[in-house]
């Protein structure tokens, strides 16, 4: 069949839009995490500049390509997806809040806080909407992504061992060295970053269909295991625990996955044991605050993980194919109940022990944040004071801390203050839509990204989004949207 000139043009531009989608998302996933300017300590500024550059280049190009394709194809219909609509609504509230704020320019650029101004929210939303429309996704895109991030994580491991391989820490105070990891930035950023990678890679290893992919993904898991240990944050385990809750039924479904899950557990334990006994990591471990993360730096925990992983692996090799469906359901339910019990215990303990000192003084930030919200006008309560505009309202908080506080260290609370009740409802709506789409989909293709999003959601309760983690979140959200569609491959 001979195509008309308009059909040829539309075909070419659809291919160009697929290429543009890969380019935009790889820029977010690779360039932003890698980019560091000369003054490493000002990591926010570096990531913010990089994000703005990507948005200013890729968004206009994507809009032009989309417009030309639609004109040539005479296609004015948009495939509206619930997640995309709600994300656009949230970004719209951010824009309105920005325009009505006391400093619209600062709120638009986000340079008063952690770099997520209205410009960044709008740009990332446009990239998500266009890419989810035209990208023909294949999981193999994660092979080069894992390769690049292996280098980033390796640098972080060397940093934690006291080796400043890129001379990033030479102008920093010693007390801050172990809080800034690799090219990612400070510890809270590292938490969100890992939550968007660990669950997805876990699924990739369990699902690997050929030996090279299995070995490659498994090797990356070893580096991720080390990254989890050196992260030293309770928020990470909170997020990963929520992600694990959704992956347990998947892991125990058949013998191959079970033994691979056991292998990954044992590898994590071996890495934990190694880090806990090597003298080069002793200084880093000594700086970890008491809590759950500190427990994962003790040799006995590594030994228990190795033993547990070995038992699970052997079960997958021997008896799992003979076990009845009822027994498998028990082995699915028990770990989930244990996770739920741990989470409930953690929540009860947190409530009973909550004070201004809770969570490295998050209790103080959250209490004063709610007092601040209480003092807002009706307009500010509805649409907030503008994205990244907490520097001045937090002046009293900064005086109490003895250093500048820019964020709420909790995304829901941050958005309550900066985008109001309306923006917060949209943000919660994104998560409701993600869960809804997962339940309605076949789950196979979107499972790694759903688990990653759930882990990110968990850690976001105790950390604030920024110009590194939010772009990564949008990239994973885009993959999730595509993989709930028939386009995924």
Q: Is residue 121 part of a domain?
A: no
Same domain, 367 and 466: no
Same domain, 410 and 480: no
Quick one: pLDDT at residue 132? 92
Domain boundary among 420, 436, 452: 436
Same domain, 361 and 393: yes
Same domain, 110 and 12: no
Q: Is residue 131 part of a domain?
A: no
Percent of the chain with pLDDT over 70: 94
- The pLDDT of 384-392, averaged and rounded, is 93
Same domain, 262 and 176: yes
- The pLDDT of 189-218, averaged and rounded, is 94
Q: How many CA atoms lie within 13 A of 389 on its CB side?
A: 30
Same domain, 415 and 267: no
Q: Is residue 134 part of a domain?
A: no
Burial of 402 (0-12, 13-18, 19+ CB in 10 A): exposed
Same domain, 432 and 469: no
Q: Which domain holds residue 52?
A: 1-75
Quick one: pLDDT at residue 489? 39
Residue 228's alpha-carbon distances to 149, 338, 341, 476, in angstroms, are 14, 21, 22, 19
Domain boundary among 75, 100, 128: 75
Q: Is residue 387 part of a domain?
A: yes
Same domain, 269 and 338: yes
Same domain, 327 and 198: yes
133 vs 169, higher pLDDT: 133
Number of domains in the chain: 3
As a three-state string, the secondary structure of 357-417 is: CHHHHHHHHHHHHHHHHHCCCHHHHHHCCCCCCCCCCCHHHHHHHCCCCCCCCCHHHHHHH
Q: Is residue 133 part of a domain?
A: no
Q: For the chain, how many residues are written?
A: 489
Domain boundary among 75, 96, 126: 75
What confidence tens digit (pLDDT) does each residue in 48-79 have?
999 999 999 999 999 999 998 888 887 767 77
Burial of 232 (0-12, 13-18, 19+ CB in 10 A): buried
Q: Is residue 124 part of a domain?
A: no
Same domain, 274 and 417: no
Same domain, 18 and 99: no
Model-wide pTM > 0.75: yes
Q: Is residue 98 part of a domain?
A: yes
Same domain, 345 and 363: no
Q: Is residue 305 part of a domain?
A: yes
What confidence tens digit (pLDDT) does each residue in 317-336 have?
888 777 777 777 777 777 77
């Amino acid at each position: 069949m001979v195509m008309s000139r308009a059909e040829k043009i539309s075909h070419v531009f659809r291919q160009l839009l697929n290429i543009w989608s890969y380019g935009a998302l790889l820029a977010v996933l690779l360039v932003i995490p890698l980019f560091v300017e000369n003054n490493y300590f000002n990591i926010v500024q570096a990531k913010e500049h990089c994000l703005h550059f990507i948005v200013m280049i890729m968004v206009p190009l994507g809009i032009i390509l989309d417009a030309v394709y639609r004109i040539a194809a005479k296609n004015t219909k948009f495939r509206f997806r619930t997640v995309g609509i709600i994300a656009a609504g949230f970004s719209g509230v951010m824009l309105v809040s920005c325009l009505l704020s006391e400093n619209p320019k600062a709120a638009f650029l986000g340079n008063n806080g952690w770099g997520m101004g209205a410009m960044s929210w709008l740009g990332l939303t446009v990239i998500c909407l266009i890419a989810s429309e035209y990208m023909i996704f294949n999981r193999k895109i994660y092979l080069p992504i894992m390769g690049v991030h292996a280098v980033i994580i390796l640098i972080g491991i060397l940093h934690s061992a006291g080796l400043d391989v890129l001379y990033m820490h030479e102008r920093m105070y010693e007390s801050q060295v172990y809080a800034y990891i690799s090219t990612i930035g400070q510890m809270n950023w590292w938490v969100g970053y890992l939550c968007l990678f660990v669950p997805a890679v876990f699924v990739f290893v369990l699902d690997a269909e050929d030996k090279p992919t299995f070995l490659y993904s498994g090797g990356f898991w070893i580096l991720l295991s080390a990254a989890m240990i050196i992260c030293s944050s309770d928020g990470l385990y909170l997020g990963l625990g929520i992600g694990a809750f959704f992956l347990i039924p998947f892991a125990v479904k058949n013998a191959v996955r079970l033994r691979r899950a056991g292998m990954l557990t044992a590898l994590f334990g071996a890495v934990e044991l190694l880090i806990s006994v090597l003298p080069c990591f002793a200084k880093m471990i000594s700086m970890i605050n008491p809590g759950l993360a500190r427990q994962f730096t003790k040799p006995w925990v590594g030994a228990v993980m190795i033993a547990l992983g070995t038992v699970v692996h052997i079960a997958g090799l021997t008896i799992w194919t003979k076990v009845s469906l009822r027994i498998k359901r028990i082995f699915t339910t028990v770990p989930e109940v244990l996770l739920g019990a741990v989470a409930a215990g953690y929540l009860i303990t947190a409530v009973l022990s909550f004070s201004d000192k809770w969570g490295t003084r998050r209790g103080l930030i959250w209490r004063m944040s709610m007092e601040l919200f209480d003092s807002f006008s009706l307009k500010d309560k509805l649409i907030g004071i503008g994205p990244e505009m907490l520097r001045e309202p937090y002046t009293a908080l900064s005086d109490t801390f003895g250093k500048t506080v820019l964020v709420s260290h909790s995304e829901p609370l941050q958005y309550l203050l900066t985008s109001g009740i309306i923006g917060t409802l949209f943000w919660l709506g994104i998560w409701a839509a993600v869960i809804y789409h997962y339940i309605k989909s076949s789950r196979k293709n979107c499972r790694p990204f759903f688990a990653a999003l759930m882990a990110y959601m968990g850690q976001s309760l105790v950390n604030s989004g920024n110009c590194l983690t939010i772009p990564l979140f949008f990239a994973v959200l885009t993959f999730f949207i595509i993989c709930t569609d028939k386009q995924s491959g």
